[in-house]
């Protein structure tokens, strides 16, 4: 309490003397505040002195508290939330809500620390909330951060799960998440969610909440319609430097292995990047590896297979999006092993960045920006190179499909995907966290998180969204300077670092009748295409986007939404232990095999991997995975 | 010994203390006993986790008790046993190398004291001591800056000088991992380790050197016959201490330097426990393995004890 009182004093002191900005927020309501105000009139001068002293003491207290709570942000939040413990505030308008800092534990973020820039400003202005992001990707990777936070019994205020598997189920079971139905929370604060994503709530109730409780909501909630839900690109596309590919006369590519000779020629064509560093076809990173190497798994992705069945926790089976087919990760002729062989061959040809194993994702982004890469799997990574200037020159990444391609695609899913937004049970402000989530699930919130605030990146003309001059420069993720009134910094740094979506961006925004994704706005499509777009479209038989091309040529494997009404299966502890150990072996040997010195060593390592993985129980885990996958094949037919 | 205590106790009587002497001494010792209990015995409570199927987030009482399942798992599965043996081999190899290299600080200290130019001596000493205060994470970033392929200094030089045709990722190699790790450790600890010996050298009687000089001994003779013997007691004390720490080679260094290629040889016991527990998400099994460490330590202790009995005729316990 003592600390709370001093905190009140500090906040009030700031409001009274320092900044005009804080005044409306701390309008006098409590007796404490009034008391201070009265004294202010009589003895302002002596008071200032006292408060300076008080402030100094508080700083001391806060700084010592910071040691115990770990971060400065944490300390800030305890200090500023303290007044509510005294029952001081009960406000209606957001501008009158006290300032709080929410700890966001995101298992998807690639950024840790306080959210800054334009998105931070939007959230601050609207909700008076600061977001302190804790990113498990950056803190040990894998499940390390999750395990420590679970053991500490606190998952933060806003929790973002990378999937709705074991971790989500454990968190619910251990009571780490808030039940949104308690005290009518969802009904009072979740109006948008109930209006725009009712089926997602229904699914969470049925699958995870025993039919009554709601512990979270899935991402990418889609409209109820068939077809692929992606905007212009798929999750995995084989993207090549189009300008170089064109210079080579667009050689035909039939199988995934055919990329290698083409990439080699491209490398010879452009041996160094803009800053004079060597170019590579593949530059990889290990930060995101889970049960296997993510960038090897991607080869399965462009054949329509992905880890797990999209419903049960993933493991060692790769499952087809639309057929009743599956492969074991270590199957001799499976896509994963083929991917490893491909990378090995690429490395022999000098196409693999030798830093791959020791660098982090951030390093790859920088290399991409510099033009050191010739191939990527992820269209959103293209954006770092496909700047307006590059594209005007005709340089940039674009889909170069191969004959056998059947890229994994997600259908519209009104039930929401498997990345979950949830609220940590130790939060002091479940209502305000839900308010924030609810806003993100509103047309306005989704529009702003994807395209920035109105007036900055886009504006309405005749009721339809149009990119502003700034938007054309900055979107999707460029280092364009943002005006101070919108939060300053650069566009890229100011983007939402939560790294989870709410609605499918291809959904139609009910406010203006256009999709959320600016690429699909009528105004954007009518705009004269860049040189890169022109070249690409001409070569692809007039298709406007990668998705359109693949859809036309029947090269998509669309996974239909699945609603089972039951929770995903839970793996037994014994199998879970085996999975953990086998995953380590698979990851370690995958990397070793790629960098093997010669074919003989590659084969020897492969055998070693098989022996070790099988010795540690690979077959048992796979058998369990397959058993669950088969159940899902049954559900798909319903 | 008795004489030393006597005056103290008479003093306490004079000051009129109500606490009898025997308890008084115990009270003096008690803060340290508490610390030992807190830091050496209390953590043993964590061993309980190895008998359960622990999942973070759930209290131990709510997780299933599995008895010795995890201990059996170490030995029941041949692949698993091999893994543990591999890790033990790394642990012992790197500890042994560490002990073998413990003579380097001695040599370094002797050389340092032989330098006559004071400012040069001071500079060398400061520069070699500093790395000890750099955390391993920073050491790794230094290593990455030096050895990375695209921007590393070493690769640039090697290519410029024509020793290699293209960049080599030195950090992702498994040749001589043990040696490389030992060298990094040596680089970091050399100056720091020498401090103790420099102090020991300065306490060697100067008259011995003077006498040797009169007898016509040169520098090397003096080092060999005076300095080295003078350092031996200190060296052996430190050696014994490091043998006691044989199994604890820490994990920070190996954690930051590990990658898929060198993992086979870099994974020491502490790191393996971390990797299975935190990364493999299996805390109970990791606890069981970490208990191996205590078993080996006890074996080492009895071994040393027995040796002491044979050599010196008296035992420690």
3-state DSSP of chain B: CHHHHHHHHHHHHHHCCCCCHHHHHHHHHHHHHHHHHHHHHHHHHHHHHHHECCCCCCCHHHCCECCCHHHHHHHHCHHHHHHHHHHHHHHHHHHHHHHHCCHHHHHHHHHHHHCCCHHHHHHHHHHHHHHHHCCHHHHHHHHHHHHCCCCCHHHHHHHHCCCCCCCCCHHHCCCCHHHHHHHHHHHHHHHHHHHHHHHHHHCCCHHHHHHHHHCCCCHHHHHHHHHHHHHHHHHHHHHHHHHHCCCCCCCHHHHHHCCCCCHHHHCCHHHHHHHHHHHCCCHHHHHHHHHHHHHHHHHHHHHHHHHHHHHHCCCCC
Q: Which chain B residues have a beta carbon less than 8 Å from that of A105?
A: none
Contact B167 A277 (CB under 8 A): no
pLDDT at B70: 87
pLDDT at A36: 42
The closest CB to that of B167, out of A141, A354, A367, belongs to: A354
Say whether the peptide bond before residue A551 is cis (omega within 30 degrees of 0). Answer: no
Q: Structure tokens of A468?
A: 């502003």
Contact B148 A176 (CB under 8 A): no
Contact B282 A576 (CB under 8 A): yes
pLDDT at A464: 87
Instruction: Compute the C-alpha angle A346/A351/A356, nearest 5°.
Output: 95
Contact B58 A173 (CB under 8 A): yes
Other C-beta atoms within 10 Å of A483: how many?
Answer: 11
Q: Please tell me the least confidently modeled range out of A23-27, A49-53, A99-103.
A: A23-27
The closest CB to that of B144, out of A350, A358, A616, belongs to: A358
Q: Which chain B residues have a beta carbon less than 8 Å from that of A354?
A: 149, 167-169, 172
Helix (H) or strand (E) holding A135: strand A129-135
Binned at pLDDT 50, 70 and 90, residue A142 comes out as low
pLDDT at A95: 54
Coil/strand/helix, residue A180: coil
Contact B260 A286 (CB under 8 A): yes
Residue A513 sits at φ, ψ, to 5 deg, of: 75, 10
Q: Which chain B residues have a beta carbon less than 8 Å from that of A277?
A: 150-151
The closest CB to that of A580, out of B53, B259, B280, belongs to: B280
Reading chain B (317 residues) residue by residue, the pLDDT tens digits are 444 444 444 444 555 567 777 788 888 889 999 999 998 888 888 899 889 888 888 888 888 888 888 888 888 888 888 888 999 899 888 888 888 888 999 999 999 988 888 899 999 999 999 999 999 989 988 888 888 877 788 888 888 888 877 777 788 778 888 998 999 999 998 999 899 899 999 888 889 899 998 998 888 888 999 999 888 888 887 887 777 777 777 788 999 888 888 888 889 988 998 888 887 778 888 899 888 888 877 877 787 778 777 876 766 66
The closest CB to that of A584, out of B79, B167, B279, belongs to: B279
Binned at pLDDT 50, 70 and 90, residue A634 comes out as confident
Contact A354 B53 (CB under 8 A): no
Cα–Cα distance between A245 and A532 in angstroms, integer?
12
The closest CB to that of B56, out of A151, A584, A611, belongs to: A151
pLDDT at B239: 80
* Per-residue three-class SS string for A462-523: CCEEEECHHHHHHCCCCCCECCHHHCCCEHHHHCCCCCCCCECCCCECCCCCCECCHHHCHH
- A553 vs A11, residue with greater confidence: A553
Contact B149 A353 (CB under 8 A): yes
Other C-beta atoms within 10 Å of B314: how many?
Answer: 8
Coil/strand/helix, residue A258: helix
Cα–Cα distance between A504 and A508 in angstroms, integer?
9
- Using one digit for the tens of pLDDT, what is the confidence trace for A173-218? 899 999 999 888 888 888 999 988 888 898 888 888 888 899 999 8
Cα–Cα distance between B226 and B251 in angstroms, integer?
39
pLDDT at A10: 38
- Using one digit for the tens of pLDDT, what is the confidence trace for A374-398? 999 998 888 889 888 888 888 999 9
Q: Which chain A residues have a beta carbon less than 8 Å from that of B263?
A: 588
Is A463's pLDDT higher than 50? yes
A635: left (phi over 0), alpha (psi -120 to 50) or beta: alpha
Which DSSP state fits A280? B
Q: Which chain A residues have a beta carbon less than 8 Å from that of B73?
A: 577
pTM: 0.74
Which DSSP state fits A317? E
Residue A162 sits at φ, ψ, to 5 deg, of: -75, -25
How far lies A489's CA from each of A162, A388, B187, in Å? 28, 19, 42
Contact A573 B64 (CB under 8 A): yes
The closest CB to that of B150, out of A146, A151, A355, belongs to: A355
HSE of A577 in the Cβ direction (CA atoms, 13 Å)? 18
Residue A408 sits at φ, ψ, to 5 deg, of: -65, 130
Residue ranges of domains in chain B, CATH in brackets:
58-96+268-317 (no CATH), 101-246 (1.10.3720.10)
Percentage of residues in chain A with pLDDT exceeding 90?
Answer: 36
Question: Is-contact B197 B106, C-beta < 8 A?
Answer: yes
pLDDT at B175: 80
Contact B79 A176 (CB under 8 A): no
Residue A292 sits at φ, ψ, to 5 deg, of: -155, 180
pLDDT at B16: 58
Q: Taken in order A421, A568, A176, B285, is the CA torsion positive or negative?
A: negative
- A47 vs B153, residue with greater confidence: B153
Q: Please tell me the least confidently modeled range out of A1-15, A241-255, A315-329, A431-445.
A: A1-15
With both helix axes pointing from N to C terminus, report the angle between A198-208 and A166-173 in degrees, rounded to the nearest 10: 70
The closest CB to that of A358, out of B259, B276, B281, belongs to: B259
Question: Mutate which of B73, B76, B159, B281 to disrupt the A interface (most A C-beta within 10 Å)?
Answer: B281
For A583, counting Cβ atoms within 10 Å of its Cβ (0-12 exposed, 13-18 middle, 19+ buried), the class is buried
Residue ranges of domains in chain A, CATH in brackets:
1-98 (no CATH), 100-225+412-515 (3.40.190.10), 239-409+564-571 (3.40.190.10)
The closest CB to that of B57, out of A151, A588, A592, belongs to: A151
Other C-beta atoms within 10 Å of A268: how many?
Answer: 11
Contact A144 B278 (CB under 8 A): yes
pLDDT at A27: 39
Q: Which chain B residues have a beta carbon less than 8 Å from that of A141?
A: 279
Instruction: Compute the C-alpha angle B44/B50/B54, nearest 5°.
Output: 115
- B298 vs A579, residue with greater confidence: A579
How far lies A595's CA from each of A65, A356, B148, in Å? 48, 10, 16
The residues of B whose Cβ lies within 8 A of any Cβ of A are 53, 55-58, 64, 73, 77-80, 82, 144, 148-151, 166-169, 171-172, 259-261, 263, 275-276, 278-283, 285
pLDDT at B312: 67
The closest CB to that of A358, out of B58, B80, B172, belongs to: B172
Which DSSP state fits A221? B
Contact A577 B280 (CB under 8 A): yes
CA distance A618 to chain B (A): 12
Q: Which chain A residues have a beta carbon less than 8 Å from that of B256?
A: none
Question: Is-contact B212 B95, C-beta < 8 A?
Answer: no
Cα–Cα distance between A525 and A467 in angstroms, integer?
11
Got the DSSP string for A399-467? Answer: E---TT--EEEEBP-TT--S-EEEEBTT-S-HHHHHHHHHHHTSHHHHHHHHH-SBTTTEEEETTEEEE
Spatial CB neighbours of A308, under 8 Å, sequence gap ≥ 6 = A314, A315, A317, A319, A625, A629
Binned at pLDDT 50, 70 and 90, residue A439 comes out as very high
Coil/strand/helix, residue A228: strand
User: Mean pLDDT throughout A32-37?
Assistant: 42
Contact A587 B260 (CB under 8 A): yes
Q: Which chain B residues have a beta carbon less than 8 Å from that of A616?
A: 77, 79-80
Q: Which chain B residues have a beta carbon less than 8 Å from that of A589?
A: 260
Is A434's pLDDT higher than 90? yes
CA distance B93 to chain A (A): 22
Cα–Cα distance between A535 and A542 in angstroms, integer?
10
CA distance B302 to chain A (A): 34
Closest residue, chain A, to B53 (C-alpha): A573
User: Mean pLDDT throughout A116-120?
Assistant: 91
Binned at pLDDT 50, 70 and 90, residue A25 comes out as very low
How far lies A611's CA from each of A344, A511, A586, A617, in Å? 20, 58, 11, 10
Chain A and chain B share a number of CB contacts under 8 A equal to 112
Instruction: Identify the top-confidence range among A15-29, A514-528, A589-603, B273-287.
Output: A589-603
């Amino acid at each position: 309490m003592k600390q709370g009182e001093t905190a009140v004093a500090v906040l009030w002191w700031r409001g009274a003397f320092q900044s005009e900005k804080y005044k409306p927020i701390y309008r006098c309501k409590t007796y404490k505040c009034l008391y201070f105000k009265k004294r202010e009139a009589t003895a302002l001068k002596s008071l200032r002195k006292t408060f300076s002293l008080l402030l100094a003491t508080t700083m001391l207290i806060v700084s010592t508290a910071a040691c115990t709570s770990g971060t400065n942000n944490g300390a800030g939040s305890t200090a500023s939330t303290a007044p509510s413990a005294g029952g001081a505030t009960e406000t209606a308008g957001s501008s009158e809500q006290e300032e709080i800092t929410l700890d966001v534990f995101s298992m998807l973020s690639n950024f840790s620390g306080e959210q800054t820039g334009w998105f931070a400003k939007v959230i601050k202005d609207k909700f008076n909330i600061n977001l302190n992001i804790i990113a498990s990707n950056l803190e040990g990777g894998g499940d390390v951060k999750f395990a420590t936070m679970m053991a500490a019994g606190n998952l933060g205020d806003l929790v973002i799960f990378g999937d709705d598997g074991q971790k989500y189920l454990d968190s619910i079971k251990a009571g780490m998440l808030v039940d949104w139905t308690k005290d009518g929370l969802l009904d009072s604060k979740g109006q948008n969610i109930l209006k725009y994503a009712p089926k997602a709530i229904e699914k969470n109730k049925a699958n995870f909440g025993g039919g009554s409780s709601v512990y979270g909501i899935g991402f990418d909630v889609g409209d109820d319609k068939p077809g692929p839900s992606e905007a212009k690109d798929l999750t995995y596309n084989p993207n090549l430097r189009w300008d170089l590919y064109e210079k080579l006369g667009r050689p035909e590519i039939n199988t995934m292995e055919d990329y290698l000779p083409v990439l080699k020629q491209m490398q010879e064509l452009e041996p160094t990047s803009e800053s004079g560093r060597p170019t590579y076809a593949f530059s990889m990173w290990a930060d995101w590896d889970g049960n296997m190497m993510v960038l090897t798994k991607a080869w399965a992705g462009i054949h329509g297979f992905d880890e797990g069945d999209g419903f049960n926790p993933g493991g060692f089976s790769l499952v087809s999006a639309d057929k009743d087919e599956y492969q074991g990760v270590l199957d001799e002729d499976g896509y994963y092993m083929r991917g490893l062989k491909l990378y090995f061959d690429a490395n022999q040809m000098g196409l693999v960045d030798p830093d791959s194993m020791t660098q982090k994702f951030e390093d790859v982004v920088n290399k991409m920006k510099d033009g050191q890469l010739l191939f990527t799997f992820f269209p959103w990574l293209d954006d770092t190179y496909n700047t307006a200037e590059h594209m005007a020159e005709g340089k940039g990444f674009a889909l170069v499909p191969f004959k056998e391609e059947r890229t994994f695609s997600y259908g519209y899913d009104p039930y929401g995907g498997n990345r979950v937004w949830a609220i940590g049970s130790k939060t002091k402000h479940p209502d305000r966290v839900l308010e924030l989530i609810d806003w993100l699930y509103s047309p306005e919130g989704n529009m702003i998180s994807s395209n920035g605030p109105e007036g900055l990146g886009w504006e309405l003309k005749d009721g339809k969204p149009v990119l502003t001059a700034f938007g054309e420069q900055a979107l999707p993720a460029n280092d364009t300077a943002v005006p101070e009134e919108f939060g300053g910094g650069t566009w890229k740094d100011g983007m939402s670092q939560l790294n989870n979506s709410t609605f499918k961006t291809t959904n139609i925004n009910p406010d203006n009748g256009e999709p959320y994704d600016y690429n699909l706005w009528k105004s954007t499509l009518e705009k004269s295409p860049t040189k890169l777009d022109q070249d690409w479209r001409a070569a692809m038989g007039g298709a406007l986007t990668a998705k359109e091309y693949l859809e036309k040529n029947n090269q998509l494997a669309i996974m239909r939404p699945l609603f089972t009404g039951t929770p995903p299966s839970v793996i037994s502890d014994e199998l879970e232990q085996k999975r953990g150990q086998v995953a380590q072996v698979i990851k370690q040997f995958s990397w070793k095999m790629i960098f093997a010195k010669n074919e003989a060593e590659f084969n020897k390592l492969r055998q070693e991997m098989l022996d070790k993985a099988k010795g540690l129980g690979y077959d048992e885990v796979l058998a369990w995975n397959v058993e669950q996958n088969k159940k899902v094949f049954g559900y798909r037919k319903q | 010994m008795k004489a030393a205590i006597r005056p103290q106790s008479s003093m306490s009587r004079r000051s009129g203390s109500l606490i009898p002497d025997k308890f008084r001494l115990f009270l003096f010792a008690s803060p340290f006993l508490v610390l030992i209990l807190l830091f050496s015995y209390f953590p043993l409570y964590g061993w309980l986790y190895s008998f359960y199927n622990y999942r973070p987030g759930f209290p131990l009482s709510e997780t299933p008790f599995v008895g010795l399942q995890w201990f059996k798992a170490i030995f029941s599965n041949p692949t698993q046993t091999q893994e543990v043996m591999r890790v033990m081999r790394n642990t012992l190899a790197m500890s042994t190398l560490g002990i073998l290299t413990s003579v380097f600080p001695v040599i370094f200290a002797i050389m340092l004291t032989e330098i006559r130019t004071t400012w040069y001596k001071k500079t060398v000493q400061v520069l070699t001591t500093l790395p000890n205060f750099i955390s391993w994470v920073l050491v790794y970033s230094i290593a990455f800056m030096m050895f990375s392929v695209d921007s590393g200094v070493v690769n640039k030089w090697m290519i410029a000088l024509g020793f290699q045709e293209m960049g080599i990722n030195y950090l992702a190699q498994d040749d001589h991992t043990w040696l490389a790790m030992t060298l990094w450790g040596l680089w970091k600890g050399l100056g720091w380790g020498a401090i103790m010996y420099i102090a020991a050298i300065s306490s060697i009687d100067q008259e011995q050197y003077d006498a040797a000089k009169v007898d016509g001994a040169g520098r090397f003779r003096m080092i060999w016959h005076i300095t080295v013997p003078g350092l031996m007691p200190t060296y052996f004390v430190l050696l014994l201490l490091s043998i006691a720490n044989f199994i604890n080679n820490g994990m920070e260094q190996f954690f930051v330097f590990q990658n898929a290629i060198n993992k086979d040889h870099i994974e020491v016991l502490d790191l393996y426990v971390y990797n299975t527990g935190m990364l493999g998400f299996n805390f109970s099994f990791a606890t069981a393995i970490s208990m191996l460490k205590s078993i080996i330590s006890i074996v080492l202790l009895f071994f040393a004890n027995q040796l002491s009995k044979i050599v010196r005729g008296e035992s420690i316990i």
